[in-house]
Amino acid sequence: MLRLTILTCFLFVALSAAVNPNWYKNAVVYQIYPRSFKDSNGDGIGDLNGITSKLEHVADIGADAFWLSPIYKSPQVDFGYDISNFTDIDPTYGTLADFDRLVAKAKSLGLKVIMDFVPNHSSHEHPWFKNSIKKIKPYDEYYVWRNAKYVNGKRQPPNNWLSNFQGSAWEWNNDRKQYYLHQFAAGQPDLNYRNPAVREEMKNVLTFWMNRGVSGFRIDAINHMFEDSQFRDEPSANRPDIPKNDYDSLVHIYTKDLNETYDVLKTWRKLMDDHSAHTNTDPKMILTEAYASHELTVKYYNSGSTVPFNFMFITDAHNSSSAMDFKGMIDRWMKAVPEGKVANWVVGNHDNHRVASRFGRHRADEITMIAMILPGIAVIYNGDEIGMEDRNFTYAETVDPAGCNSGPARYYLRSRDPERTPYQWDNTTSAGFSSNNKTWLPVHSNYKTLNLKHQKAEYYSHYQVFKSLRSIKRQSVIERGELKVEVYDKRILSISRVLGNDTVIVMTNRSNKPAAVNISSRNVPPLLIVYAASIGSNLRPGTLALTNSLLVPKESSVLFTSLNIYWSDHEN
């Protein structure tokens, strides 16, 4: 008896330590925006202990991993994307000990932690930059310094490059008597990746966090890492409609997507693979952010990225996209994913308007539905699982530098505050986000009815839809089934997955009229069942549907499955 127990224990340990090389292939990755997730100390700003206290929710909605927007030490010029110490936690969010507790709890819930990594620049308050200004070795060449150009005796930046946050990308430093490059805020000097010492420093940063239990990195704006070594002027985009100092007024051929980026990424992939091999842990996930062309995005796959973010549903799809447009986009992506790699579908993030606001409230679940039944990884922004919406901001309320720097006439085109408001947990003070009634960004006024607690109590809500989508994503038909993307009646987008007798179909009505589709001549069972439907469609889960007249209510989406799938999911 004792021997059996020992044997069982041994087996259990052996099993739990087993590496799962495929863990990410059908994963849901959840983005947490720490400032807005949960405030534990009443200062009105979210923090690590707040996140730790809410990890049960992340596990409940079935995330496999979550990525944290930056929590590093930072003067918060760009809310944490300006880092003054890459191996420390900002006191606003907590301490390294808090971080260790967060990782331990995540592990106990089976969740992997992914850190945001902001390699292109540091804060101007980083000791490296302070030493670089004074030309103290080895820091003198840690940043991109250039001499001024003098035109008619007047000091000018070395070239015409523009910052993503408007205006010249060069800032004069009066101590060093040179300009430094900043592709974002002036408080975010770009690191010089042509310097091997900088590349080594950044590898040490990655190792520091992996040793603390981190399972991967989301690499911010990776395509801005290198600039032209000859510092040539960028050509005009010929856009008379936008101001001359707007980032979009130039074509960024010398400051974006340079080939050297891919080589650095390969060295990071190797570093992470070696770490996993030494520690006998699951492969690390690398997510890369690059608002780049389709072809370039795909190049990141071959340089070690697990998830070169597919922003198709953010940048290409919009409210008025037709069923045919959707089919075109999805087919193009599926074709581009290299053999052996997995597709990914980003529903939303902290830099873009919320999905419920981009597509309209009644379509809040549509993109998630599509993302969850397509093959590969779904990336979800916190709050989208309950259909949170953008909040309107006045210029005076705006705090995002991208908005503030654009001025009162244009701030709303650039500001990312609307999608960053605090998470709506319940209907108490500040939506349960904070005990403080004043929060760093105001809570959306709709929180009394739009909140997690309310939706959990409802029979049918965005939360319930999300849960059922997560549940179906675990089925092998989603993991391995054949994919077909079709258009019926010019208006209905149909995405189906078939594996043996298992059938899953999402039908989405891209028009404003209801439609009945007859797909009985296709290779599908004659009888399907409604598994989930858009909130507001009045279609109840469990309703039977004949394949020869599938009703898709106006402006909504329905997820049908074969009966065997439905029953296998509902029997317990």
Ligand X SMILES: *[C@H]1O[C@H](CO)[C@@H](O)[C@H](O)[C@H]1NC(C)=O
* Residues known to be catalytic: 220, 289
Q: Minimum CB separation from ligand X for residue 141, in Å?
A: 17
Q: Minimum CB separation from ligand X for residue 271, in Å?
A: 17
**What are the distances in angstroms from CA 247 to CA 20, 244, 419, 459?**
43, 8, 22, 47
Strand pairing report for 112-117 and 145-146: unpaired
Backbone region of residue 85 per phi and psi (left: phi > 0; alpha: psi in -120 to 50; beta: other values): beta
Nearer to ligand X, 375 or 418 (CB): 418
Q: Minimum CB separation from ligand X for residue 33, in Å?
A: 14
Question: Measured in Å, how far apart are the chain's first and last C-alpha atoms?
Answer: 33
Residue 45, number of CB atoms within 10 A of its CB: 22
Q: Minimum CB separation from ligand X for residue 21, in Å?
A: 27
Q: Minimum CB separation from ligand X for residue 107, in Å?
A: 21
CA distance 406 to 412: 8
Q: Minimum CB separation from ligand X for residue 499, in Å?
A: 8
Q: Minimum CB separation from ligand X for residue 7, in Å?
A: 35
Tokens of 15: 């099993």
Cβ neighbours for 51, distance < 8 A, ≥ 6 positions apart: 32, 34, 37, 38, 68, 102
Burial of 511 (0-12, 13-18, 19+ CB in 10 A): middle
Tokens of 570: 């509902």
Nearer to ligand X, 81 or 440 (CB): 81
Amino acid at 372: M
Nearer to ligand X, 9 or 197 (CB): 197
> Which neighbouring-strand residues pair with 485?
495
Tokens of 422: 């605090």
Q: Name the residue among 69, 68, 89 with its Cα closest to residue 78.
A: 69
CA distance 220 to 69: 9
Task: Please provide residue 176's backbone torsions phi and psi, each rounded to the nearest 5 degrees.
Answer: -85, -10
Cβ neighbours for 15, distance < 8 A, ≥ 6 positions apart: none
Q: Minimum CB separation from ligand X for residue 333, in Å?
A: 21
Nearer to ligand X, 110 or 500 (CB): 500
Residue 136, number of CB atoms within 10 A of its CB: 13
Nearer to ligand X, 245 or 520 (CB): 520
Please tell me the number of Cα atoms within 13 Å of 339 on its side-chain side: 0
Q: Name the residue among 23, 36, 31 with its Cα closest to residue 441.
A: 36
Nearer to ligand X, 48 or 552 (CB): 552
Query: Do 483 and 374 touch, CB atoms closer than 8 A?
Result: yes
Strand pairing report for 515-517 and 527-533: unpaired
Query: Do 288 and 219 touch, CB atoms closer than 8 A?
Result: yes
Residue ranges in 436-495 assigned as alpha helix (H): 452-457, 462-473, 476-480
Q: Minimum CB separation from ligand X for residue 19, in Å?
A: 29
Q: By CB under 6 A, name the binding residues for ligand X.
A: 78, 81, 85, 87-88, 96, 118-121, 127, 183-184, 188, 220-222, 224-225, 259, 319, 357, 359-360, 392, 427, 437, 448, 453, 491-492, 500-501, 509, 511-518, 520-521, 548-549, 552-555
As a whole number of angstroms, the longest Cα–Cα distance in the chain is 93
Q: Minimum CB separation from ligand X for residue 290, in Å?
A: 8
Please tell me the number of Cα atoms within 13 Å of 439 on its side-chain side: 29
Amino acid at 48: L
For 186, which DSSP code? T
CA distance 167 to 158: 14
